[in-house]
């Protein structure tokens, strides 16, 4: 009888430990929006600087 209880307990332990773990959810990503009434061509340098800053920030976070 004790042998059956031990086998049952070990079987239950293996079953519980084999359940898949849940992955962590990614953190909220901040976004920046720009509203402008100017011509996009004239704002190109500003948009380019913002994109470069974003890419630079992403490279720092991955290190």
pLDDT digits (tens, 9 = 90+) for 14-38: 877 777 767 777 777 777 777 888 8
Whole-model pTM: value is 0.38
Q: Read off the pLDDT band of 48 (50, 70, 90).
A: confident
In the block, residue with structure tokens 């290190």:
63
Q: Which residues contact 32 (CB under 8 A, 6 or more apart)?
A: 50, 54
Structure tokens at 37: 């009434």
Q: Read off the pLDDT band of 63 (50, 70, 90).
A: low
* Among 53, 51, 32, residue whose Cα is nearest residue 43: 51
């Amino acid at each position: 009888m004790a042998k059956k209880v031990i086998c049952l307990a070990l079987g239950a332990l293996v079953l519980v430990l084999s359940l898949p773990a849940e992955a962590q959810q990614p953190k909220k990503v901040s976004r920046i929006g720009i509203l402008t009434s100017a011509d996009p061509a004239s704002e190109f340098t500003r948009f380019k600087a913002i994109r470069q800053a974003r890419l630079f920030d992403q490279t720092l976070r991955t290190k």
